[in-house]
Amino acid sequence: MSRHQERSSTVGYCIQILIVNGAVQDDYSNKSYYIENIGKGGFRFISDIAFELEDRVQVLLRFPDNHAQEVLGRICYSEEFDGNQKAYGFSIIKGFYSLRSSHDKITAKDGSQSTTHYSQGPNVE
C-alpha cells in the first residue's frame, strides 16, 4: 500500500538520530528525517532505518525557526509507509517541554518579582 501525505503542517520540523539503545549513531546523525505530525507527547516521523518497538532513541529535534532541542523517547508504533520507508511513532520520555521567551518575569504570591531564564526556542504546545 502506497501512501502519500502532505507534510505542510510540520514544514521545517525534522530530527537527526543521535543514540539508539545507548549506542551512538554516527551514520544516522548526518541525515535528517522529516516529521509528519507533532504534538505535546511526541511525533510521527518517516525513516528508512529499521527500528524495533520500544527502542530508546535520542534525537536532535530541529524547529522551523532554526532552534533545536535534544529529546529522548521510545518507538511506540511503526507502519509501512512507502517503499523501504516506515512511519514511526516517537513517544517523549525526557526533554520535550514548553520553551518560553528567554526571560519571563514571574510574580510570586508575596508580590516580589524574579526573572526565570529559559532556553531559546519555540513554544511547542
pTM to 2 decimal places = 0.69
Rg of the chain over CA atoms, in angstroms?
Answer: 17
Closest CA to 17 of 40, 41, 48, 42: 48
- CATH code at 8-117: 2.40.10
Among 23-27, 98-102, 109-113, the range with the most confident prediction by mean pLDDT is: 23-27
Q: What is the residue extent of each domain of the chain?
A: 8-117
Q: What is the DSSP letter of 84?
A: T
Report DSSP letters for 18-35, one per residue: EEETTEE-TTGGGS-EEE
Query: Residue 109's pLDDT is what?
Result: 52
Q: What percent of the chain stands above pLDDT 90? A: 50
